[in-house]
Amino acid sequence: MATNVFVCNSFESLIPKSFTFSLPLLPIAQKVPVSTSPPRRRRRKSAIVSSMAQSTQNPVVLQKRVVIPNKHGEKLVGVLHDSGSKEIVVLCHGFKSSKDNTTMPNLANALEKEGITSFRFDFSGNGESEGTFAYGNYGREADDLRSVVEHFAGENQVVSVILGHSKGGNVVLLYASKFHDIRNVVNVSGRYDLRRGIEERLGEDFLERIKKEGFIDVKNEAGEVKYRVTEEDLMDRLNTDMHKACQQIDEDCSVFTIHGSADEVIPVEDAWEFAKIIPNHSLHIIGGADHRYSSHQTELASVLLEFIKSRLQQQDKSSTS
């Protein structure tokens, strides 16, 4: 099983330059100079040409609120960035986050500029969506994503790419392993071993405490309860086997993992584990990027666009051949 790996910034000294890439900034439509000497008619034509050039390079994108019911009758709220393309990229947020978190709108805006429609939404129990927040919910969130995919299929549109950040990365991989109808999956900083990272939030003795009390309240520095973890929630996470799930992803499903080398929440080693077991996989490490890509949002968008544009072009060629 071949895995393509791309590394940026901090690893440059270890690999050939050809492995590091970034997309150029989108060109800005230049104004066509209007001369004052020609007749009025000539000036008007030049102005029209300038206007057409700007509209071509800056497509009109409609943003509208979309509400989709999930299988439990809860309303999932999202924002559709409609550029007019039939294909849609669905963006999935991470743990205790939402569709309005920095990364999701940034990626949607980057896709907009390329004329690619996207949809960012809140999982049930998060953001504006109905439902109760739960610590686990990995399978349930994959079902939420299924409801979104089916909704757009009913609208005669095609979800060509699903992307998830952090916990959302796990959700899109679980979706691919279960439903087998999406050919392009982007895992941004997902966790390979879900047994890890629990102590940091719940404490070293979390198993003893939750067995005794039945729940653990996670509090902020002021002592206020942020959320409650029940024993059922904890078991949902511990029983979610990403290794087994990834082995069930179809070989014709292209999985692209992006991870920051300075991720302080989920270690970059997890990305390499995904690369070992997913049949059709590419990996891109962004040097110096933390878990939220705080200083690397532009680079994250560029890497994503490179993958999506390449995959959509391949699909177009396949459909016309």
128 phi and psi, to 5 degrees?
-85, -10
Instruction: Calculate the CA 80 to chain-centre distance.
Output: 14
Whole-model pTM?
0.81
d(CA 84, CA 51): 20
Instruction: Calculate the CA 246 to chain-centre distance.
Output: 17
Asked whether 130 and 150 are in contact (CB, 8 A), the reply is no
pLDDT score recorded for residue 17: 33
| Per-residue pLDDT tens digits of the chain, which is 321 residues long | 545 555 544 433 333 333 333 333 334 333 334 344 444 444 433 333 333 333 335 567 789 999 999 999 999 999 999 999 889 999 999 999 999 999 999 999 999 999 999 999 999 999 999 999 999 999 999 999 999 999 999 999 999 999 999 999 999 999 999 999 999 999 999 999 999 999 988 988 999 999 999 999 999 889 999 999 999 999 999 999 999 999 999 999 999 999 999 999 999 999 999 999 999 999 999 999 999 999 999 999 999 999 999 998 887 777 666
Q: What's at 311, amino acid-wise?
A: R
